[in-house]
Each structure stands twice: as C-alpha cells, then as structure tokens.
Structure 1
Amino acid sequence: MDRNRLALALGAAVLALPLVAAAQHARPAPYGDRLTVPPAAPHARAYVRVRGAAVEAYAPGSGARGWTYRREGRRPLAVRTAPGHAFALWSDGLVTDSARVLSVGAVRWHRAVPGLAGWLAARPGRAGGVLQELGRPGPGAGEGGMLAVLTPERIAAYRTADGDLRWTLPARRGCAFDPDRTARVAGVLIVAQPCRDRDAWSQELVAVDGLGRIAPGRTPLGNELPTGSRPRDHRT
C-alpha cells in the first residue's frame, strides 16, 4: 500500500472513531434498565420501596434519596429486601436484584420466570407474596441466602449471590400454589397448595427452606458458590 492510500485509510479510521463511540453510547441498556444515582447519595444501607413506575432507595433515618430504578415500558409490582439485596418483581414477570446501598447504582442480575407475566396480568394486586426469602439451615445454603419465586405452577429458588437457579418444586397434579397464603415457622416457609380433589389436608401444605422441600431423608443439592467464584455487579 502506497503512502497516499495508507494516509486515506488512517484518516477514515480516525473519522470513524467518534461514530463508533456514539453508537456504543446510544446502545439501549439490557432489559430496558434505567438506574440513576444522585451525586451526593451517601454510602449507606437503603430503605427500598415501589413508587409509581420506579423502585426507589432512601436512607431509613434521614430520608435522603439514593438510586432510582426504572425499566422502559414496565412497572414494579413488589419489592422484598434482604441484607445487601433489594429484589423487585416487574409486570413482565422479570425478577431483579439490586445492591441495597444508596450510592451503588448496580443491578446484579435479572431472571425471567416462565408463566409469571400472564398470571400477574390476570391477577392484578396478587404480587405481594410472590417473592419470599428462604431460610439458611446450614452452610450449604450459600452466600447471601436464597430467594423463592412463587407461582401457581411451581416454586423456583435462586441463589441471591448470583441469581443461579438452584431448585424448582412443581405443584402436585390437580393442585396449585397460592402465593397469598404463606406462613413462616422457625425459618421454614409453609405455602398453601389447594387441590381440587381435597383428599388430604396435609397435601395442601408444602414446607420449604433454602435447600428445597422439607421431607424425611432428603438429600438436598448444595447451594454454595463454586470455589473461587464471586458475584459480579452489572452496572447500568
């Protein structure tokens, strides 16, 4: 290649750089995420709530504003918090985990739950019991605990540290889980499972913890993070 052609090629590359940068900057955020953090937000534990079409974080004592999390075309239906985590359930059946710190604008993971969006659309106002924190009966429960997502068809449990799906429990045939009817006893979550045949009341209750359904002689799957693995923050 002669000098003139080389100069033209280098000039074209230089001119293209701003266009490439602009295209990257304009790329839409994954899942329509729009998360903003005020410059003066303190680095402190947050109180998190749903307000309109957003999930918002505040300082528990002073009310100082922290991050605000929105998703384009979606709205949050419920929030559940755990140490270090703020879980949100959205109208499209997506579950998200955000850092529960006022100054940290990070969404750690997103998980789509099959069938949840349709059920939520048909049952407005029934989202309150869908997200449930599960107890940690032993060291195998993993860093940060477990989050259960309750739907009529199944219970799905995700490791809160990284959103990994650890186990699912389908409803018994002819039965359906009822997220509105739950109770906690000594770290155990009891979920109502009404059945059409109603042959035994004991079949209409299911007890679970961070390791799965509680039953005699169970051999649960360990939920600890793999050796050397650490969860990553996905900043938007």
Structure 2
Amino acid sequence: MAVLHHRRTGPSDAGTLLEQPAQPAPARRERSSVPLPHRPPDALPETPPVRRPVKRVLALALLLAAGLLAAAHQIRPAPYGDHLTSGPPAPTARARGGVVEAYDGRTLRWRYARVGRRPLSVLPTRGQAITVWDDGLVTDTDGRSVRWHRALPAATGWLRARGGAGVLRPLGRGILAVVTPSRIAAYRTADGDLRWVLPARAGCAFRPERAVRHGHALLVAQPCADGAWTAQLVAVDDLGGIAPHRTPLGNERPRAGRPERPRTEKALAPPR
C-alpha cells in the first residue's frame, strides 16, 4: 500500500503556485527597408500663402523714390549755369559786373547771373531783359524765369575781344536782330524762335556798332575788301533783307485754324 506524502503549503508556496509563467516579449518590428513610392509635388499638402502688406510696401517704395528724385533735382546743376533771384518784371535792366540787374525806379526787382560768364550787353524790352554773354549765348529773362537761350555760332572769340556793342538790335513787331560779323540772325522775342538768317557776303563783314535805324529798317554797314560801295550797306527789317518784289513769310506765332498771312509791302516806301 502506497503512502502519499501530503505537504502543507504555506503562504510563500501559494504565491509561487499563483505566478504565471513570464510571456516572451514581442519581437521588435524591423523598419522596412523597401523605399516608399515617390509622391508628386501636387500631391503634397499645400502651404497656406503668407499674406504680406503689399499696399504698404508699394506706398513706402513710392515715397522713397519720390524723395530720391526730389534730392536729385535739388543737386542737379541749373541749365547753362543760370542763377536767377526772381522778382516782378521791371522796366529797366543793366549789366553790373557779372550780373544782370533789373530796376523799377531805384528798387531792385531781380538779379540774373550765369556761373563763370559775364554779360556784355543788355536790351530791356517790355518788362524783359535780353542779354548777350561772353560765351556767345543770348538769353531772355522776365524776372520770373529765363524764357529762352540761343547760341551764336562762331562768335565767342569776337565777342570776348570786341564786346557786345550794337549786337542786339530790335526790329519791331516782336523781332530781335542779333548782328555779328558773319551773319545777322532774327529771333522772335516771344519764344526765341529763329525767323531768318542773312549771312555776310564773301570778303565782307558786318559792323554791328555802325548800324542805324531808318524808319522800319535797320541799316547795317558791311565793309568789303573789294566791292562797290553799294554792297557795303544792307537794309533789313523784321521780315529779312529788304529787296524789291520779295515775298517773305510772316513772323507771328501760328494759331490753330488760322494760316499766317505774308507781308509783301516794302519797308522804305509805301505800297503802290
């Protein structure tokens, strides 16, 4: 007869019997080394656009550009070296040193100078001052602005040596004659438009200081080395050289829808 041995279990044995066997840890999943398929750019999620203050940026750029333009205008040298201290028109003007001054009685109204240049002769006319300078430039000033500039070709050396006596000659009807040895040029005083040019004859030269007025005509001496005395004097008016049966153009400023009418009458004799 078999004898069974009975063993009493204590508290420690109960815990041992109740313990479950340890479960093995799950295997670590290896990352797949197979590359993922390439996703086209259009499949990527769109990034929301960043809103910028475009209007403010443009306004700031415009203000900066305007400031730069204004600064450049301030430092830009004046055309022809002009320096005008503006004022109201004045009836008289004269050259004083290197400056043209205009007066109303004894009151100085305005001053006009050109950097490095000297006025040789000034002709006041209807509140304006027409000036010939030592660099062969002719200007017209009304005190508020320099209205126009005109250059005299091949006259600078002669002007600096002889001065501007007799060079500026008004012809009437708003036309100014500028007399130099090689030519007589006529300009419209309203805008400086060149109206006509009369060159001296070959072997001759005009003498502006010996020009005189006779009625509407300006008689200008033209001494010649060889030639008859009749060729040594020319007569001009606002329309050009005076000659029989001439048909010159008018000098008035053109108006819209109104053609210019030529003047054909003679200046030294009434029309027949």
| Fold shared by both chains (TM-score > 0.5) | yes
SS of residue in 2 equivalent to 1:191:
strand
Task: Check the 8 A contact 2:91/2:124 in 1, yes or no.
Answer: no
Distance 1:195 1:19, change over 3 A: same
Offset of 1:107 from its aligned partner?
Answer: 1.3
SS of residue in 2 equivalent to 1:150:
strand
Task: Check the 8 A contact 2:92/2:127 in 1, yes or no.
Answer: no
Offset of 1:156 from its aligned partner?
Answer: 0.3
Q: Tell me the residue number matched to 1:139.
A: none
CA distance in 1, matches of 2:243, 2:61: 68
Q: Tell me the residue number matched to 1:26.
A: 75
SS of residue in 1 equivalent to 2:74:
helix
Q: Tell me the residue number matched to 2:133.
A: 90
Distance 1:203 1:2, change over 3 A: farther
1:193 aligns with 2:222: yes
Q: Deviations over 1:33-64 (max 9, x none)?
A: 11003xxx6x564210001111001113xx01
Q: Deviations over 1:47-93 (max 9, x none)?
A: 10001111001113xx0110100111111110012223310001110
1:225 aligns with 2:269: no
CA distance in 1, matches of 2:140, 2:89: 17
Offset of 1:9 from its aligned partner?
Answer: 5.3
Q: Deviations over 1:150-195 (max 9, x none)?
A: 1111100001111100000010111011111111111211000000
Instruction: Report which structure shows greater RCO (CA 8 Å, sep ≥6).
Output: 1
CA distance in 2, matches of 1:193, 1:159: 24
Task: Specify the structure having the higher radius of gyration (Cα).
Answer: 2
Offset of 1:20 from its aligned partner?
Answer: 2.2
Identity %: 56
CA distance in 2, matches of 1:29, 1:2: 48
Q: How does 1:69-108 map to 2 (within 5 A)?
A: 69-99=112-142, 104-108=143-147
- Please report the RMSD computed on the Cα atoms of aligned residues, expressed in angstroms: 2.1
CA distance in 2, matches of 1:44, 1:5: 52
SS of residue in 2 equivalent to 1:119:
helix
Task: Check the 8 A contact 2:187/2:195 in 1, yes or no.
Answer: yes
1:207 aligns with 2:246: no
Task: Check the 8 A contact 2:212/2:220 in 1, yes or no.
Answer: yes
Could you tell me which runs of 5 or more consecutive residues in structure 2 were left unpaired when the two chains were aligned: 1-48, 258-272
Letter in 2 for 1:56: E
More moved, 84-93 vs 17-26: 17-26
Give the 4+ runs in structure 1 shifted more than 3 A: 1-17
More moved, 4-13 vs 15-24: 4-13
TM-score, scaled relative to structure 1: 0.81
Letter in 2 for 1:47: T
Offset of 1:110 from its aligned partner?
Answer: 0.6
Distance 1:228 1:56, change over 3 A: farther
Letter in 2 for 1:30: P
CA distance in 1, matches of 2:172, 2:59: 60
Q: Tell me the residue number matched to 2:94.
A: 49
Q: Deviations over 1:89-108 (max 9, x none)?
A: 01110001112xxxx42211
Task: Check the 8 A contact 1:46/1:66 in 2, yes or no.
Answer: no
CA distance in 2, matches of 1:97, 1:150: 16
Identify which of 149, 156, 169 aligns with 1:132. 169
Offset of 1:5 from its aligned partner?
Answer: 7.6
Could you tell me which runs of 5 or more consecutive residues in structure 1 were left unpaired when the two chains were aligned: 137-144, 230-236
Offset of 1:16 from its aligned partner?
Answer: 4.0
CA distance in 2, matches of 1:177, 1:147: 16
